[in-house]
């Protein structure tokens, strides 16, 4: 009997995870740095942007593993970075959110905390939030009302030594730039917290 109950619990939890994942829209993310005297960059849907209405928290998560293309040589610069996720959490003042009008946009500075490689540090990011018309090609219906109608652009940079990445095997020294272009904001709903992880 216990085995049967366990089976149904696992099945239920798996279906919940699948359901949440189906409603999450990733964002096109760009990463760039210089390694071994070569300019290195990659583009992938490796970024997730969330907004928690309960506490006005903006969350940005970057999974460097998803930048890999399956080529050992070209992926080498990502190895030390991909051992943990880059997670930013900061408070977004709802007064800074734009009204939904044609081509409306607004730059916003958000202060918060970055966690990467087991280290957390204060950090501020500047993002631009802009409206997407319902008839635009970029519009995606995700039953989120307001957040289906806005996208964000953002860019940030850090040095490997900021998060002790320089002590790893590849000894990175040059700055690492991350940018999200036309990022989708996913509403963080109760039960979705497990999706935010720095490892």
**For 41-59, how does the pLDDT look when each residue is reduced to its tens digit (9 = 90+)?**
899 999 999 999 889 999 9
Total domains, the chain: 1
Quick check: is 12 in a domain? no
pLDDT surpasses 70 at 100: no
Quick check: is 70 in a domain? yes
Where residue 17 falls among pLDDT bands split at 50, 70, 90? very low
Quick check: is 7 in a domain? no
Q: What's the CATH code of the domain at 177? A: 2.40.128.110
Six-digit token string for 117: 């490689």
* Mean pLDDT, rounded, for 70-75: 86
Cβ neighbours, 10 Å, residue 154: 23
Q: Give the per-residue pLDDT at 143.
A: 53
| Strand 176-187 versus strand 38-52 pairing type | parallel
- The domain of 173 spans 26-195
Cα(102)–Cα(104) distance, rounded to whole angstroms?
6
Quick check: is 118 in a domain? yes
Alpha carbons within 13 A on the beta-carbon side of 68: 16
Cβ neighbours, 10 Å, residue 29: 25
Q: Dihedral through CA 123, CA 185, CA 92, CA 31, nearest 10? A: 10
Quick check: is 9 in a domain? no
* Mean pLDDT, rounded, for 172-178: 89
Going by C-alpha positions, the residue among 26, 31, 61, 63 that lies closest to residue 45 is 26
Where residue 14 falls among pLDDT bands split at 50, 70, 90? very low
Quick check: is 128 in a domain? yes
Contacts of 90 (CB under 8 A, 6+ apart): 57, 58, 110, 111, 112, 113, 123, 124, 125
Quick check: is 72 in a domain? yes
Quick check: is 3 in a domain? no
Instruction: Specify the pTM.
Output: 0.81
């Amino acid at each position: 009997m216990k085995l049967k109950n366990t089976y149904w619990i696992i099945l239920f939890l798996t279906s919940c995870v699948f359901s949440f994942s189906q409603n999450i829209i990733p964002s096109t993310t760009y990463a760039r740095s210089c390694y071994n005297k070569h300019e290195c960059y990659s583009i992938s849907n490796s970024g997730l942007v969330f907004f928690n209405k309960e506490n006005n928290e903006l969350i940005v998560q970057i999974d460097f593993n998803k930048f890999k293309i399956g080529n050992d040589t070209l992926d080498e610069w990502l190895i030390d970075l991909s051992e943990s996720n880059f997670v930013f959490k900061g408070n977004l003042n709802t007064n800074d959110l734009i009204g939904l009008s044609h081509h409306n946009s607004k730059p916003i500075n958000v202060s918060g905390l970055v966690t990467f490689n087991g280290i957390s540090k204060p950090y501020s990011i500047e993002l631009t939030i802009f409206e997407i018309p319902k008839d635009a090609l970029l519009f995606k219906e995700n039953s989120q009302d307001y957040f289906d109608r806005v996208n964000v652009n953002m860019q940030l940079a850090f040095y490997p030594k900021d998060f002790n990445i320089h002590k790893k095997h590849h000894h990175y020294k040059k700055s690492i730039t991350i940018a999200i272009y036309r990022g989708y904001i996913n509403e963080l709903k109760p039960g979705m917290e497990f999706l935010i992880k720095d490892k």
